[in-house]
With several copies, the nearest count.
Chain A
Amino acid sequence: MRAKISLFGQLTDIAGNNIIVVDDVADTDALAQAVNKLYPAMAGIKYIIAIDKKPVHTNTALNEAVNIALLPPFSGG
């Protein structure tokens, strides 16, 4: 499937955008691989993948309906 991904924090600097689109990703592992290939600088950042506003810590299947976001390390407060 084609995944539309929201970016935050320093990831937006790397991509030069708040949203990126990657093709042919069936699950979150494939998504991370595709993203890191497209933007090698992202591979060096320990980002979390969030699906529908929840952090995902194991490989998870994707579908067109889900909301995908990449979250670099938090620095609130």
Chain B
Amino acid sequence: MSEHRIKNIFVNGPIDASFIGDSIAKHRSKTEIGGHSIFLGQVRADIIEGKKVQAIDYTAFEEMANEQMHQIREAVFEKYDLTCMHIYHSLGKIAVGEICLFVFTSSAHRKAAIDACAETVERLKSTLPVWGKEILEDETYQWKVNK
């Protein structure tokens, strides 16, 4: 059976670039690692019917999302020879230009880290119960739709 416990992936507000730097630095002692792959989601200033997005307000069914993420993590660890995986997703209003998703995989060899990161991003985008409300410049909003 798995050694991984269900973790809470959610953080309130944007993910600081310095937090990402610190996360990377923590892996210095894990000298079996040869490659890290990181994906960051950044809130984009899309134009929706002539109005610019100024922020995305994220909500989630947190307990279910954490359970789903746990299953993704187990499946990805089963498939790839990973050393570790860290996932963080923002909740609340995240302004354009801010980071709202941080996916971080590490492995002895680059291929496992890269493929695992890409697959994790796809899986979490399609299966985590998280919703983004795009707040437009005139304070109206629209529910985001993932492509």
A and B touch in the complex (CB under 8 A): yes
Q: Which of A10, A13, A53, A75 contacts B130 (CB 8 A)?
A: A75
Q: Is B79 an interface residue (CB 8 A)?
A: no
Give every chain B residue within 8 A of A72 (Cβ-Cβ).
131, 143
Indicate with 1 or 0, residue by residue over B135-146, a CB within 8 angstroms of chain A CB atoms. Answer: 000000001111
Whole-angstrom distance between the alpha carbons of A74 and B64 in the complex?
Answer: 13
Interface band, chain A = 10 to 19
In the complex, the answer to whether B129 meets A50 with C-beta atoms within 8 Å is yes
In the complex, the answer to whether B129 meets A73 with C-beta atoms within 8 Å is no
**Which residue from chain B places its CB closest to the CB of A76 in the assembled complex?**
B130
Q: Which of B60, B67, B110, B143 contacts A76 (CB 8 A)?
A: B60
Indicate with 1 or 0, residue by residue over B49-71, a CB within 8 angstroms of chain A CB atoms. Answer: 00000000011110111010000
A-B contact count (CB 8 A): 69
For the residues of A in contact with B, the DSSP-based class is loop
Give every chain A residue within 8 A of B127 (Cβ-Cβ).
74
In the complex, the answer to whether A77 meets B130 with C-beta atoms within 8 Å is yes
Q: Which of A6, A10, A53, A54 contacts B131 (CB 8 A)?
A: A10
In the complex, the answer to whether A77 meets B67 with C-beta atoms within 8 Å is no
Indicate with 1 or 0, residue by residue over A37-77, a CB within 8 angstroms of chain B CB atoms. Answer: 00000000000001001100000000000000101111111
In the complex, the answer to whether B145 meets A71 with C-beta atoms within 8 Å is no
Give every chain A residue within 8 A of B58 (Cβ-Cβ).
76
Give every chain B residue within 8 A of A76 (Cβ-Cβ).
58, 60, 65, 89, 101, 124-125, 128-132, 146
Q: Is B112 an interface residue (CB 8 A)?
A: no
In the complex, the answer to whether A8 meets B41 with C-beta atoms within 8 Å is no
Residue ranges of A at the interface with B (Cβ–Cβ < 8 Å): 6, 8-10, 13, 50, 53-54, 69, 71-77
Given A9-B133, A74-B146, A77-B41, 17 additional A-B pairs, CB 8 A:
A8-B60, A8-B61, A9-B59, A10-B143, A53-B63, A53-B64, A53-B67, A69-B64, A72-B131, A74-B129, A74-B130, A74-B131, A75-B131, A76-B89, A76-B125, A77-B121, A77-B128
